[in-house]
Each structure stands twice: as C-alpha cells, then as structure tokens.
Structure 1
C-alpha cells in the first residue's frame, strides 16, 4: 500500500515536472518529430522516473509519519523521539512536567512493541521494567505540557531498533532522547542530535570543590585499606579515607578531589571524625578560625 501511494505521488510529481520542461523547451526547433510526440516522450520519461522513485521511497513513509511531518498546519515542528531506555528510566516524565521540553514527543510503534515485549517477559524484573515504561508513557500522554505523537513509521528493511530511531530522526529532522551511551555515539556520528537524560542530570548536580565539607552516610568498605564508601542523595559515589570504622554512620568529611567520569562525578574525601586512638599528628587539620 505504501509503495502504491509513493508511486502515485511520484507519477504526479514527474508529470508536473514534465509539463514544466515541455513548456520551456522550443519543441519545434529540437527535432523533425511532431511536438506532440516529443511531449509524450518527455511525459513518459519523467512520469516513469517519478513513479519508480516514489515506489522505492514509499515503504519509508506511512500516513502516521506524514501526519506527524505536516502537523500544525504544515509548520516545522520541534520533534523529540523517545527510545526505550529513556521511557523505562522514567525521569523524562518529570522533565516534561517541569515545562523544560517544548515541541512534540514522538514514540515510534517499534519502540512500543519493544516495551510490550519486555512487559510480557517471563522474567519478573524485565516484566516490571516494561510495565513501568508503559505507565510512564501514559503519564506523559495525560499531561498537558507536551504533545505525544505515535509514529507508525517502521522501516522494515532496517532490523536494528537503534538504526530505526536514527532513520526516523533524520526524516523528521528531530532529536533523539535517550540514556543509551552507544546509541548516543552512533547517532552523533550520523549527524543526529541527541538529548541524554544522564548528561542533563549530571549538569544539574551541585558544584562541590576540594576543601568543602559535607555529611555522608558510610555504607560499605572501600577497595583500599580503611576506606569507606558512601553515596549522596543524587547517587554520587563518595570514597572516604579512614572511614571503614564508621560504616553504618553519618560522618563529616572534607572533599579532597573530584573525578569526572562518563558515568558522572566521584568525590574523594577524608573523615573529619576524630578518634581518640588516632595520634595527634595524624588527626585531620581543620582550616579556618
């Protein structure tokens, strides 16, 4: 059906182009053949070429994708295409509710199928993740902040879901919203802009400089001797020297360094809790007053 529609559209475009060419050319001077025969030949060539190209491209377009491309009276839209990982993550719903996102969110049918497949999994963890993703989509759709468009574009000749997303983004001149590091890199290499929720979250974390103090709950032992490991409320890991004995307690620490990684930031610090058994020359020195 899509090929038929594409071929018909191509035939119409080819016919229109042939009419323009036939009107501009001085047919009486080009050849001894009757002008009507030359016009017929031009229409045949342009019409066939347009129909062939339209049929070849027709499989890439559906009524749903055309409606999305020409929504709002044909005005250019700011499309953001959601992938499976960012839907399951759930934070996209909170971002939408804050009003920071504008334009339309596009959810492809192949992403919905992947979510449904995960939600029907025999594995309880996968099943819960899939159902959570479907609930998140319903929450976004009910909100007034953004418009949600379900795209029927599928690209059957492309098997990989990530490559389908990239192709759809190219067609709609849109951006992909994802948490997937590999999809992020491949899309950027192919010229598609990506909005990464993890990058957004990292950019919004408070700036902490070496020398600042904070309170940390020491959760477990670190890799090095006497190290303790804790986490801030936003999930940032904090590695604290001489904190192994404080596991299970909230303690004051001083940040000694900050490490930036692809997964986010890590803080390193030292305990400010003075143990009476610690020699005076090894106790932490406080700066200030």
Structure 2
C-alpha cells in the first residue's frame, strides 16, 4: 500500500517537472528564436499537456527502478559507513556546512561577471571544491582538532578558582544513595554519615518507610523494637546531620518485594544501594547496580594483624573445640586461642598464628605466649 502511494506521489512529481520544463521552454525567447518556433496558444496548450503526461508517465513507470536503485544505494552507504566513527561524521558535516557557507559568500562576486554561463560554471565549481575540502579536511585533521579542544579545556580548568573546582567536583560526585531497611535498623549509617565519608543525597523510598512502619507495629517485641530503632535513626539523620535526605514517593506496583523495588529504583535513578544485606548485595550486583555494603566497610577498616604478632586479650569463654578459649577485639573481631581454656577470665598475651577472612567478618587464631 505504501509503495502504491509513493508511486502515485512520484508520478505527481513527474507532472510538476513536466510543467516546469514546458514553462521554461515556452518562456525562453532565446530558444524559440534559435529554433525559429512560433507557437499558437492552441499548440502551447498541447505542448504543455504532452510534457505533463510524458513526464508523469515516465516517473510513474520508472518508480520501481528508482526504488530499487535507492535501496541498493542505501545498502552501499550503510556498508561504507559501518566502520565510520560518529566523530568523523560530525566533523565532516560541520566542515561541509562551513565550506558551503564560504562558497556562497565567494559566489556573490561571480554574479558581477557579464557573461552568465561563466559565472554559473565558476559558482558550481567553487561550491564543489569548497564543499569537498570542508568535508574531508576536518576528518584528516581529526586528531589535531581533538587535541586543540582538549588543550582549550585544560586552559579553562586551570583558570577556574580552586573553590569552584571543588564545588563542581562535589556536584558531579553527588550520586544518590538509596537506604534499605536493614541498614537503617542497623544504625551504623548514622555514624558513617557523621564522619562525612558518605556524600548525599540519602534517598529513602516510601516502600522502605512502609516496611519500617509494619515492623514497628509488629506484635513481636523484638521486631517492634527494631522497627522503632530504624525510625529513630532516620529522625536523627534528618535532625542532627547536615547531609541531604530525600523521601521519594516512587513505587513499583507490579513488584511486591522491597528488595526488587529497591533495585529497580536504583536503576531508574542511577543511584547506589546502601545495605548490609548479603543477599540484596549479590542480587543488585548481578543486575549491574552499585552497592555500598556496611559490613564490607567495617571489615575493611578493622585493625590488620599478621601471623607472629603479639597482643593482649581478655579470654571470656571457652571455644567449640577442646581446650580452646575465645576473646574479642574492641571492634568485635573474634580471637580463638588454642590451649587457652585455663586462662579464661584473665588478660593473656597471645601470638597470632593465622587469620581467616569470611563473608561474616575476620577471625583470628592464636596461641598463648610461652
């Protein structure tokens, strides 16, 4: 159907071309004088009609061949442009426009030539030459043009005051941080934000607030306390810290799980998820969402100990294996002391034998110093 409409339209174009050609021939006195033709009004009408019908039929009949040629030309252009970089296309088009503008300005001088056909030939020639130069030269000099832009950018950055640089850098680095329920209840996010290591804004989705509300209204006392603790932490972040906090009303009605909604929201806002949920961490990472895990941060900043180091620890209880005793560092790291059961309740100097790093944290194995 579309091809039929295009074919009819092409035939109409042929009719218009025939009319224009007939008008040009019949109004050109030089042609009529040269050919010694003197047409009556009736013959002029016949001439008009003949050219209109002729070109209309030619365009209508030749449309399939023209369409086939256009398709082949399109394929050739696509094949030739397949390996062309976008920057080359942009530079070529920009250079072509500049070249044609310069050619137009120069062609005004050719209109003053008394011999019309010489001025026409020169005008066409200058358009072709400058158009070609304008298109090809920027592509050949691509590296020089890019280098010039980069140098200009560096000069501008060098002249920007330090305060403005920092402000711009801070603005660009302000990626939204989406809080999940677990990290709010955990509470350590408040202390981390207080130190200034987290740059805002902090985004609290409404579905996370709803989940906190449900936990706060739970009949289970433990859950109820956890939910209320989470709401208290949010209130402290908003009132005691200068960090920007946003509550977003965006929800995903087609998704029921809070974690899935959080991942979708992070994708939509190009934000990062703040969590200490191991499963959410893995799911979000698989889906290409950046995650800031509080537990990983805590493990990263724990004191580093090496095998052979000495430390004084308070042995507080027995271990799982016979003769073992357990102690804890200030950050909660567990120390398992072999043959340390007899020292339970005392502060003992131990030697580190090995360190075990797990997803839950770091575990240190030691033995009493003899």
TM-score by length of 1: 0.68
Query: Are residues 179 and 31 of structure 1, via their aligned partners in 2, closer, same or farther at CA, if it must alter by over 3 Å?
Result: farther
Query: Are residues 225 and 155 of structure 1, via their aligned partners in 2, closer, same or farther at CA, if it must alter by over 3 Å?
Result: same
Matched, 1:259 2:331: no
Give distance in 2, aligned partners of 1:131 and 1:218: 35
Structure 1 residue ranges (4+ consecutive) displaced by more than 3 angstroms after TM superposition: 28-32
Q: Which runs of 5+ in 1 are unaligned?
A: 1-25, 33-74, 273-283, 285-289
Q: Which runs of 5+ in 2 are unaligned?
A: 1-5, 13-170
- Distance apart, 1:247 and its partner CA: 1.5
SS of 1:259's equivalent in the other structure is: strand
Query: Are residues 121 and 252 of structure 1, via their aligned partners in 2, closer, same or farther at CA, if it must alter by over 3 Å?
Result: same
Give a deviation string over 1:144-189, Cα, whole Å, max 9, x none. Answer: 4310000101101001110000000000000000000000000000
The alignment yields a C-alpha RMSD, in angstroms, of: 2.0
TM-score by length of 2: 0.53
Give a deviation string over 1:104-148, Cα, whole Å, max 9, x none. Answer: 000001100111111111111111111110000011111343100
Normalized per residue, which structure has more helix?
2
How do residues 66-215 of structure 1 correspond to structure 2 at under 5 angstroms?
77-215=174-312
Matched, 1:250 2:347: yes
Give distance in 1, aligned partners of 2:306 and 2:323: 24
Give a deviation string over 1:83-112, Cα, whole Å, max 9, x none. Answer: 000000000000101011112000001100
Give distance in 2, aligned partners of 1:95 and 1:223: 34
138-147 vs 95-104, which deviates more? 138-147
Give distance in 1, aligned partners of 2:11 and 2:360: 71
Does the 8 Å contact 2:178/2:272 carry over to 1?
yes
Give distance in 2, aligned partners of 1:175 and 1:186: 13
Does the 8 Å contact 1:217/1:231 carry over to 2?
yes
What corresponds to 1:271 in structure 2?
Answer: 368
Give distance in 2, aligned partners of 1:144 and 1:231: 32
Which structure is richer in relative contact order (CA contacts within 8 A, separation 6 or more)?
A: 1
What corresponds to 2:95 in structure 1?
Answer: none
Query: Which of 219, 230, 234 pairs up with 2:331?
Result: 234
Give a deviation string over 1:244-277, Cα, whole Å, max 9, x none. Answer: 11222221111111111111110000012xxxxx
Normalized per residue, which structure has more strand?
1
Aligned residues: 206
Give distance in 2, aligned partners of 1:31 and 1:80: 62
